[in-house]
């Protein structure tokens, strides 16, 4: 590998960007595809699938063995709302490999005693997100405070950053009002449509832990499942 | 594990920038039960110093030896280890799996 390519690879990793290092094992020819380079590339579909699954893979191209080495930053989950559901969701998400942070400006909720094993930021979302180094597409955001003053700024930031998962707690009626506020703030219908609301897969969850399960399952789906082909 | 990979790839860059001969070994295929997943790295310098792993420690010695040759010649190579190989008894995978490791020089 050329040193210049290795240093590009390390820069990509440091910037929390996903990509795939493509190596022709017979010739040694190598190139680095960042996640923005997939469309239009001969191996773009295979590279996208490998990045989505998080697994490096050997593929064949014109009878040649080509190795796709996945470079995926660790995914993060930012839970906005240090509520009962968050107490179940934080450890479960950590088990699934996410770096978890809990954000809630209400100090009584965001206490380390309630979240012994997670990073807790008793700040407003805007300040907490800045402290966490900003959002990106390898970040999931679950807004579950029920309070628009706290949830809305987090959702706006998540939409702007293209987070891979954005979920918001609240009934359809609550979400309807939220959609109006976000539209008034300048977000398009398509952007707002990315918000999963009511949050979580519809499995009839009742308890906080069950709701956390439905949210985590929805996050896994967003991360791993192949998106449907856009209709033409 | 991923943070580990970060360290390995950063170290590979650092060692090369310091002017050392450096090789990078990567697990590119596995069959059966393999101790380290596809994509795992081991970085080796010209003195045989290494960081990372491509197995549970069973084949690292052989990979390092081969890597020194790759650093010398610059020709990348793919090494295979497993119970079906004659190397199995010398540098075998006790778990019964097979792995294929690509070794390349950082130029």
Contact residues on chain A for B29, CB-CB shorter than 8 A: 58
- The closest alpha carbon to B27, from A31, A70, A47, A17, belongs to A70
Segments making up each domain of chain A, as ranges: 3-71, 76-224
Select the residue from B13, B16, B28 to test the A interface by mutation, using most A Cβ atoms within 10 A: B28
Of B2, B9, B28, the CB nearest to A6: B9
Task: Determine whether the interchain pair A67/B26 forms a contact, defined as Cβ–Cβ distance below 8 Å.
Answer: yes
C-alpha distances in angstroms, A104 versus A168, B94, B106?
Answer: 15, 50, 47
Contact residues on chain A for B14, CB-CB shorter than 8 A: none
pLDDT, tens only, B14-69: 999 999 999 999 999 998 777 788 999 999 999 999 999 888 777 889 999 999 99
pLDDT, tens only, A179-219: 999 999 999 999 999 999 999 999 999 999 999 999 999 99
Select the residue from A20, A50, A69 to test the B interface by mutation, using most B Cβ atoms within 10 A: A69
Give the integer Cα–Cα distance in Å for A151 and A68.
Answer: 39
- The closest alpha carbon to A191, from A140, A146, A157, belongs to A157
Give the domain extent around B22: 2-105
Place of tokens 């628009």: A148
Tally the domains of chain B: 1
Report the pLDDT value the prediction gives residue A135, as an integer from 0 to 100. Answer: 96
pLDDT, tens only, A50-89: 998 889 999 999 999 999 999 988 899 999 999 999 999 9
Give the integer Cα–Cα distance in Å for A70 and B90.
Answer: 31
Task: Determine whether the interchain pair A56/B39 forms a contact, defined as Cβ–Cβ distance below 8 Å.
Answer: yes
Report the pLDDT value the prediction gives residue B35, as an integer from 0 to 100. Answer: 76
Place of tokens 């309630």: A114
Nearest Cα of chain B lies from the Cα of A19 at a distance, in angstroms, of 13
State chain A's maximal CA–CA distance in angstroms: 62
Of A3, A9, A13, the CB nearest to B16: A3
Report the pLDDT value the prediction gives residue B91, as an integer from 0 to 100. Answer: 54
Task: Determine whether the interchain pair B38/A7 forms a contact, defined as Cβ–Cβ distance below 8 Å.
Answer: no
Give the integer Cα–Cα distance in Å for B76 and B64.
Answer: 13
Task: Determine whether the interchain pair B16/A13 forms a contact, defined as Cβ–Cβ distance below 8 Å.
Answer: no
Give the integer Cα–Cα distance in Å for A176 and A109.
Answer: 27
Of A6, A69, A72, the CB nearest to B106: A6
pLDDT, tens only, A37-50: 998 899 999 999 99
Give the integer Cα–Cα distance in Å for A76 and A120.
Answer: 14
- The closest alpha carbon to B52, from B104, B103, B1, B106, belongs to B1
DSSP helix/strand/coil, A66: strand
Report the pLDDT value the prediction gives residue A51, as an integer from 0 to 100. Answer: 93
Cis peptide bond N-terminal to A79, omega within 30: no
Q: In the 8-state DSSP scheme, what is residue B50?
A: E
Dihedral sign computed on CA atoms, order A45, A51, A54, A55? positive
Contact residues on chain B for A72, CB-CB shorter than 8 A: 2
Give the integer Cα–Cα distance in Å for A102 and B13.
Answer: 35
Give the integer Cα–Cα distance in Å for A50 and A22.
Answer: 11
Which helix (H) or strand (E) is A76 found in, with range? Answer: strand A76-80
Joined together, the tokens standing for residue A193 give: 């449509």
Residues 6-35 of B with CB under 8 A from A: 6, 9-10, 12-13, 16-17, 24, 26, 28-29
Chain A and chain B share a number of CB contacts under 8 A equal to 53
Contact residues on chain A for B16, CB-CB shorter than 8 A: 3, 6
Report the pLDDT value the prediction gives residue B1, as an integer from 0 to 100. Answer: 37
Mean pLDDT of all residues in chain A?
A: 94
Question: Partners of B27 in the beta sheet?
Answer: B101
pLDDT, tens only, A20-35: 999 999 999 999 999 9
CATH of A76-224, one of 3.40.50.2000, 3.10.20.30, 3.40.50.720, 3.30.420.270: 3.40.50.720
Question: What is the complex's ipTM, to 2 decimals?
Answer: 0.84
Q: pLDDT tier at B2 (50, 70, 90 boundaries)?
A: very low
Which helix (H) or strand (E) is B68 found in, with range? Answer: helix B60-73
C-alpha distances in angstroms, B55 versus A70, B31, B59?
Answer: 19, 13, 6
């Amino acid at each position: 590998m050329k040193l210049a390519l290795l240093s590009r690879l390390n820069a990509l990793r440091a910037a929390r960007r996903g990509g795939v290092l493509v190596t022709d094992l017979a010739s040694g020819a190598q190139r680095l595809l960042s996640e923005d380079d997939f469309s239009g590339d001969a191996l773009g579909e295979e590279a996208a699938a490998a990045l989505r699954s998080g697994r490096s893979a050997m593929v064949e191209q014109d009878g040649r063995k080509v190795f796709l080495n996945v470079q995926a930053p660790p995914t993060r989950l930012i839970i906005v709302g240090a509520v009962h559901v968050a107490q179940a969701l934080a450890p479960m998400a950590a088990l699934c490999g996410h770096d978890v942070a809990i954000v809630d400006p209400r100090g009584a909720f965001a206490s380390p005693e309630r979240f012994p094993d997670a990073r807790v930021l008793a700040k407003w979302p805007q300040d907490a997100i800045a402290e966490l180094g900003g959002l990106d597409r390898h970040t999931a955001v679950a807004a579950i405070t029920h309070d628009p003053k706290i949830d809305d700024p987090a959702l706006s930031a998540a939409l702007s950053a293209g987070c891979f998962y954005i979920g918001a707690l609240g009934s359809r009626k609550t979400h309807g009002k939220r959609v109006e506020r976000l539209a008034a703030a300048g977000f398009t219908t398509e952007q707002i449509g990315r918000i999963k609301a009511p949050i979580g897969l519809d499995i009839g969850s009742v308890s906080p832990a069950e709701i956390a399960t439905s949210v985590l399952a929805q996050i896994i789906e967003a991360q791993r499942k192949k998106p449907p082909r856009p209709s033409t | 594990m991923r943070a580990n990979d970060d360290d390995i790839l950063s170290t590979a860059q650092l060692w090369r920038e310091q002017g050392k001969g450096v090789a990078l070994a990567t697990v590119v295929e596995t069959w059966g039960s393999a101790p380290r997943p596809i994509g795992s790295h081991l970085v080796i310098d010209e003195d045989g110093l290494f960081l990372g792993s491509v197995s549970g420690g069973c084949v690292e010695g052989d990979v390092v030896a081969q890597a020194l040759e790759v650093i010398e010649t610059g020709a990348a190579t793919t090494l295979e280890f497993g119970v079906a190989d004659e190397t199995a008894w010398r540098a075998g995978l006790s778990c019964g799996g097979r792995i294929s490791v690509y070794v390349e020089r950082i130029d």
